[in-house]
Amino acid sequence: MSEVEHAPEPFTVVATVNTKGGPGKTTLTKILVSSALASDVDVVFFDADSSRNLIRWKERSEAAGTWPDNAQGYHVETAAEIFDKLNELVKDGFDGMVFIDTAGEANEATFLIIDNADVVVIPIGLGIESIETSKEMLAAVHHHLEQSPADNRAVVKLVRNNIPRTLTKGTQAVFDKIGEMPECIDAHIRFHNDIITWTNQGPLYTMFSDRTAHPTNQALRLNAKNTYAILDEGLKVINEVMAEV
């Protein structure tokens, strides 16, 4: 598995944005958080979504004893709460990565977060509804950032997410077409059954840390292999977007 190649100085803020309904905003955030942690990067995340899925993920992991020491997570209801905490991180000399799972709607708080992010990641799937939703969000983000100074705008990237492991001729054409969009990065996240099973159990790399020592158990070996594949995909996403920060 690769490592994060572009170290944030002092830290980089990555906001995952989209409206609710399919593109996998929170799942992508979990994968990116897990991948950064697996590369020994300190992580702080903010859950600004009213569903609280991200913070509940942390709470379940803490209850299971699998939440790592180099990760902090907070549920927030306003953008001001995030900014206050970011200022604290600057004062404390934090040098890791910050991930923000936004509210799942194009509201004022989301755009305030975008104004203060270094990277805006928009997940996009291959379904018609997901594509339209993501394109609408992309257009809204660009329109908003056009009002900001050019040297203070976040890097905006599309990430193809929840991609079938085997593509038909039709889905391959859609996958390639999305890839031609200037904001779309090469790295993408494929669908893995393991994503469903680990979303309630904390960061991926901790889930199998005590199981891979049992080489006679084929099922556990397979789970561990799939886990590392997901983490590697997440790291490729991080490294590609960080290269432009």
pLDDT given for residue 204 in this prediction: 62
Q: Residue 244: which pLDDT band, with cuts at 50, 70 and 90?
A: confident
Residue 150 is given by DSSP the state: G
pLDDT for 2-19, tens place per residue?
Answer: 454 444 447 899 999 998
Domains of the chain: 12-242 (3.40.50.300)
Mean per-residue pLDDT for 65-87? 90
Mean per-residue pLDDT for 138-166? 91
Model confidence, pTM: 0.89
pLDDT given for residue 105 in this prediction: 86
Mean per-residue pLDDT for 98-105? 93
The more confidently predicted of residues 93 and 218 is: 93
CA angle 84, 88, 90 (to 5 degrees): 115
Decide: 223 and 217 in contact? Cβ < 8 Å: no
pLDDT given for residue 150 in this prediction: 79
Mean per-residue pLDDT for 173-179? 97
pLDDT given for residue 224 in this prediction: 65
| Amino acid residing at 131 | I
Residue 59, number of CB atoms within 10 A of its CB: 15
Secondary structure (DSSP) of 16-61 = E---SSSS-HHHHHHHHHHHHHHTT--EEEEE--TT-HHHHHHHHH
CA angle 160, 242, 155 (to 5 degrees): 70
pLDDT given for residue 211 in this prediction: 46
pLDDT given for residue 66 in this prediction: 77
Asked whether residue 214 carries a pLDDT value surpassing 50, the answer given is no
